[in-house]
């Protein structure tokens, strides 16, 4: 069985989290928060922008702002040489 998320990470996708602040349709003076999370490609974010386009077309709530956080979970490891030997008994 293949893990779709792991395969996406191997193709360069990283975990993207977006905080979507929007005006409530029933109370336009109030803001509501929706947290969206998916694997996406930075810096273009095609999956996120598809979701936001869907939101604008299909959902009555008007967007106020969107904050994006992104991190590639699979990346080359960091290696550094250590000068010295630690002996344990």
Strand 31-40 to strand 14-23: parallel, antiparallel, or no bridges (unpaired)?
Answer: antiparallel
Residue 9 backbone dihedrals phi, psi, to 5 degrees: -65, -35
Between CA 49 and CA 55 the distance in angstroms is: 10
Query: What is the structure's pLDDT at 73?
Result: 76
pLDDT tens digit sequence for 41-84: 989 999 999 999 999 999 999 999 999 999 887 766 676 777 77
Q: Would you place residue 29 in the very low, low, confident or very high pLDDT band (cuts 50, 70, 90)?
A: very high
Q: Is the pLDDT of residue 15 over 50?
A: yes
Sheet holding 14-23, edge to edge: 31-40, 14-23, 63-71
Q: How far is CA 46 from the centre of its chain?
A: 11
């Amino acid at each position: 069985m293949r893990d779709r998320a792991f395969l996406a990470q191997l193709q360069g996708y990283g975990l993207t989290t977006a905080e979507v602040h929007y005006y409530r349709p029933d109370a336009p003076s109030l803001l509501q928060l929706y947290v969206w999370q998916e694997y996406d490609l930075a810096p273009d974010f095609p999956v996120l922008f598809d979701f936001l386009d869907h939101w604008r077309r299909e959902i009555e709530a008007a967007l106020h702002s969107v904050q994006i956080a992104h991190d590639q979970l699979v990346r080359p490891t960091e290696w550094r040489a250590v000068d010295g030997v630690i002996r344990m008994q």
